[in-house]
Structure 1
Amino acid sequence: MTVATAPAVRDANLAVLDREGLDALVAALVADGRTVVGPTVRDGAVVLAELSSAQELPYGWGVELDAGRYRLAPREDGAAFAHSAGPQSWKNWLHPAHERLWSADRRPDGTVDYTVEAEEPPSYAFLGVRPCDLRAIAVQDRVLTGGLHEDSRYGARRRRALLIAVECTEPGATCFCVSAGGGPQAGPGYDLALTEVVDDAGHRFLVRVGSEEGARLVERIPHRAADPVTEDTARESVEAARDRMGRALPTGDLRELLAASSDADRWNDVAARCLTCGNCTMVCPTCFCTTTEEVTDLTGDHTERWQRWDSCFDLDFSLLHGGPVRASASSRYRQWLTHKLSTWYDQFGSSGCVGCGRCIVWCPVGIDLTEEVAALDAEHRAREEAEHRAREEADRP
């Protein structure tokens, strides 16, 4: 496909695309042999799927979110990215839920042929990466490619992936990225960052270039120089989104709070509601735990090892020779929340939560992480006040 090239952009790191330009961007990525993954409407939700054209984007659709609730909502402005994070994240492609690691076949003479899976990873282009998910990818990079034990399969996929972020102008009712240390603006790590603008001047996308490959892409597609109106409108829309988060974590040091709350009564309260289904870990963009399993055919001459996602809510996750370490629902929920917001720092130098709100939306009983942390904070403060009063009483003559 031949795409007309526009005149050079005034600022090499800033440009404007209209819908035709967005169409051309996706067409250029497909022509390059990339597997383009982005949002589309399917089965009553905005999901991530392979796209062959920008026409498959969810133009005119937003979402209504609450704890345990997700609904599509039509929009009159025809925006393509005016929706919050759906049930999937990009880890579904970078860190698949199920993949074969190796296989082995026994020959008639008793020798064994051992084959390691070494397929060339796809060359992905992720279109519509939210700032929270951009941070989540950076977190998984630290977990899975940092340190001594790199996941080589993840690393191969990640190195070949091109990231096109989309800044948030319509945060959902369960979003809390600002209080989780992020924001609706795209941070580092993208190749291109888009900010969608729909107003009287038309439907367009302000583009920031974040890499040389991103710059080359922009030069191949129809675009124009960024004008002050589009720049100001895009910036103001993103800034306004910061003040419209639907949820917030408590202020203060959550690491200390969780460390001091191991025996809090609130764990029993949440355990009475939690189904330990693991939905929160499955939709979380940073959860990375896996297990391996071997399968054989009926003859026993062929076997395969598969890696699949695991969850700390699974009773067998902490199974040792004497039984599971965390047999109760309260201990498993405590493990998940404490690791996510506290001990993750000890391992990887950051929080494991990016504030996307997926765990709230896709919990079947509507457990709200921000509500649980606020309750733990209130209980901790009440306990400290009671202890302070008791010390004062003891010190009185």
Structure 2
Amino acid sequence: MGAYELDGSPYVLERAALQELLDVLRAHGYTTVGPQIEHGAIVYDELHRIEELPIGWTDVQEGGSYRLERRNDDALFGYNVGPHSWKRFLSPPLRLLWRARKTEDGFEFVVDEEPPPRYAFIGVRACELHAIQQLDAIYMAGPATDKDYQRRREALFIVAVNCGKAGNTCFCASLGTGPGVGPGYDIALTELLDGEHRFVAVAGSVHGAEILETIPHRSATDADIALAEATIAQAARRMGRSLETAGLKELLYRNIDHPRWEAVAQRCLTCGACTMVCPTCFCFSIEDATDLSGQVAERWRRFDSCFTLAFSFISSGSVRTSAKARYRQWLMHKLAAWQDQFGAIGCVGCGRCITWCPVGIDITAEAAALRAEESGQLQPEPAAV
């Protein structure tokens, strides 16, 4: 499936067939996980029935603002993205690395040989699929492989969904990461709501094709395919944001000491919300612990954020003590240094960091301001006194 068009041999699934898809996946030993409404937001959790999906709901997002709103139809996937990302299932926020028990001769390591969970993700958006591929590059393509991530990833089944609407904080189209899903899925769906509620389905893997064959379907007509392509193209035209990527890394490196960093620091709360909701941020810390008897020692890996003082703490103290230093570190890494490390921008355009920032700091606006100020189109903001 290309960025904005369908190819392969598309099928059409009726709405009721989605429940059969869940049932088949669970019969194959997968734990199906998908979007649900909880505490006023769309989150990802174990999914048993399509009635648990956010039927007829959409999300309205702006900088520092998120709310759910009723649609005028019964769309199953008529929203964009919520605060959750799929990384918490592939790289859990808290993970035991090893455990050792004291013996007469020292310590004996206890090996955890439990098989990895077999997840089937339902409703993965194009930006999120790209984010998973970014995590693949981080955890599996480097000199060291995260074995736990690799096992979870290799057991994963992905049911992707093309976006039929764009959010006000979305900018995937300008990054080439959506709104149509690219390679890497097992099954991709496009929801059509033109009076007949149905899904155009495409297999992206041999296993995906095998699963699809067990679900009631018909071959997609030219009209079905054309409407699916038009649905994705319409979402692309209605992006709420954009990010110009040409020369972005060089732009940021040239402006590492620009007063703009101080200006944004006056607003930044250094809460780390942007890193927690980001589907690609991967900072973590290592913690050692023992039980009260001193007989058991453990090492844990915990999600962390470059916005915390402790994250850059060395023997002489924290390296990045100011909000300016910590925000600059995050944005420079995400949009510039990430390219040096992994060959791609570390952002997929989902817009979560804009929506869930308590003060609505906009990563696209900050990058655009640096570009405009450098070209003389915008006067720089004064530094804080």
Would the TM-score normalized by the shorter structure come out above 0.5?
yes
Distance 2:276 2:178 in 1: 23
Deviation, 1:45, is 0.9
Mapped partners of 1:71, 1:118: distance in 2? 42
Give the alignment of 1:210-225 within 5 angstroms: 210-225=204-219
Say if 2:31 and 2:118, in contact at 8 Å, map to a contact too.
Answer: yes
Structure 1 Cα separation of the partners of residues 130 and 162 of structure 2: 12
Structure 1, unmatched stretches of 5+, are: 1-10, 387-397
Displacement after TM superposition at 1:324 (Å): 1.8
Residue 12 of structure 1 deviates from its aligned partner by 7.0
Indicate the residue corresponding to 2:3 in structure 1: none
Task: Name the TM-score, length of structure 2 as normaliser.
Answer: 0.94
Is residue 68–residue 362 contact of structure 1 (8 Å, CA) maintained in 2? Answer: yes
Aligned to 1:161: 156
How far the C-alpha of 1:383 sits from its partner, in A, is 9.5
Higher-Rg structure is 1
Question: Following superposition of structure 1 onto structure 2, how do residues 57-136 of structure 1 map, counting pairs within 5 Å?
Answer: 57-107=53-103, 109=104, 111-136=106-131
How far residue 112 of structure 1 moved from its aligned partner, in angstroms, is: 2.2
- 2:142 is the alignment partner of 1:144: no
Q: What root-mean-square deviation, in Å, do the aligned CA atoms of Structure 1 and Structure 2 show?
A: 1.7
User: Identity over the aligned pairs, expressed in percent?
Assistant: 50
Tell me the amino acid that sits aligned with residue 360 of structure 1.
Answer: I
Secondary structure of 2:166's aligned partner: coil
Partners of 1:294 and 1:116 in 2: how far apart?
17
Deviations 1:61-81 (A, max 9, x none): 101101111101111210011
Corresponding residue for 1:309?
A: 303
Kept in 2, the 8 Å contact 1:296–1:303? The answer is yes
Matched, 1:280 2:274: yes
1:259 paired with 2:253, answer yes
1:352 to 346, 350, 373: 346
Once the two structures are superposed, the pairs formed by residues 193-204 of structure 1 within 5 Å of their partners are 193-200=188-195, 202-204=196-198
1:7 maps to none
Structure 2 letter corresponding to 1:157: R
Quick check: 1:250–1:377 contact (8 Å CA) kept in 2?
A: no
Local SS of the residue matching 1:101 = strand
Which segments of 5 or more consecutive residues in structure 2 lack a partner in the other structure?
1-6, 381-385
What does residue 14 of structure 1 align with?
10
Deviation at 1:255, TM superposition (A): 0.7
Distance 2:8 2:127 in 1: 26
> How far is 1:110 from its partner?
5.4
Equivalent residue runs for 1:358-369 within 5 Å: 358-369=352-363
Distance in 2 between residues matched to 1:76 and 1:278, nearest whole Å: 36
Q: Show the counterpart of 2:172.
A: 177
Answer yes or no: is the 8 Å Cα contact 1:173–1:247 preserved in 2: yes
1:57-109 deviation per Cα after TM superposition (whole angstroms, max 9, x unaligned) = 111010110111110111121001110111011101001100111111224x3
With normalisation by structure 1, the TM-score equals 0.91
Contact 1:101-1:116 within 8 A present in 2 as well: no
Match of 1:394 in 2: none
Contact 1:13/1:210 (CA < 8 Å) preserved in 2?
no
**Count of aligned pairs:** 374
8 Å CA contact 1:125–1:164 kept in 2: the answer is: yes
Alpha-carbon distance change, 13 to 316 in structure 1, aligned in 2, over 3 angstroms:
same
